[in-house]
Amino acid sequence: MDKQLIRDMLASEISSLIDDIQVFDEIDSTNLESLRQIKAGKTGTRLIIADAQTAGRGRRDRPWISPAGSGIYLSLTRTFGNEVNALQCLSLVAALSVLGAAETLGASGLQLKWPNDVLVGRNKLAGILLELQTADSEKYLVIGIGLNLALSTEARALINQPVTDLATVLIKQGGRPDASVVAVEIVNQLIINIIRFEEQGFSPFMKMWNFHDKYLNHVVVIQAGNSRTTGKSLGVDENAALILQTASGRELITGGEIFPSLHELPEDSD
């Protein structure tokens, strides 16, 4: 991908909001580089994109397999306010942005898994990693996005969960999409949605999330550390908390990971 091409392809109103765009052939992690630059004193809204990552990370420090040509790996850095629930909300907003971008490119049948996975069936298409960093009394939020673009057989073998890629989803539209086009569409939608969230909160996104929620009205298990909570998922509220109907009443879940059943909990979760 080419930096100037990315800049030229962005919507003009979005491009004007990004102070710096950096494109790497290979890097350890776009999120790690974003955090390093914050610590080094760089300010403003910055976009970092890589064709490959050697140490890509997902939530809970799980590895994100990131070989060249297989995915979209990008991080957007912006200043961050002090809203208590903003971080949780923006995690869902970012996932909705990726889903919206994929749909704009022709994808269908996409669903969401709280708090921020994009799925096709039970196969993961994309994930989000948000990280906060403070420098010179200013808070910054790094929104990392990994989307499977065209996974090779070798890459799939390295991933320890069911996955799919955008090329497979768009096979009827001609297969593998151009990486720059996909990255630009994600960034366009992400920034538009961030601004909308900053102006209106999460309420405008609540209905859209619940419409795409794969596990809405399903019995699920929430794993948070060593704690497990079972109940019926009733979707998210206006603060992006998951509403869970349990045997003892409704609970608002603000952290953890959702599993369709006890059988799907990871072996190291105890």
- The CATH number that applies at residue 199 is 3.30.930.10
* Contact by Cβ (8 Å): 211, 221: no
Q: Are residues 148 and 225 in the same domain?
A: no
Q: Are residues 142 and 166 in the same domain?
A: yes
HSE-CB of 115 using CA atoms within 13 angstroms? 28
Q: Are residues 107 and 222 in the same domain?
A: no
- The pLDDT value recorded for residue 216 is 96
- The pLDDT value recorded for residue 61 is 66
* Contact by Cβ (8 Å): 14, 45: no
Q: Are residues 197 and 225 in the same domain?
A: no
Q: Which domain holds residue 90?
A: 3-211
Q: Are residues 41 and 107 in the same domain?
A: yes
Q: Are residues 223 and 205 in the same domain?
A: no
Q: Give the C-alpha separation, 176 to 97, whole Å.
A: 20
Strand 46-50 to 71-79 pairing: antiparallel
- Quickly count: other Cβ atoms within 10 Å of residue 247's Cβ: 6
To the question of pTM greater than 0.85 for the whole model, the response is: yes
Rounded mean pLDDT for each run of 10 residues along the chain, 270 residues in total = 92 96 95 96 95 79 74 94 81 97 95 96 94 90 95 84 92 77 97 95 96 96 91 96 95 92 50
Q: Are residues 126 and 254 in the same domain?
A: no
Q: Are residues 121 and 221 in the same domain?
A: no
Q: Are residues 163 and 142 in the same domain?
A: yes
Q: Are residues 30 and 91 in the same domain?
A: yes
Task: Quote the number of domains for the chain.
Answer: 2
Find the CATH number of the domain harbouring 249.
Answer: 2.30.30.100
Q: Are residues 179 and 225 in the same domain?
A: no
- The pLDDT value recorded for residue 173 is 62
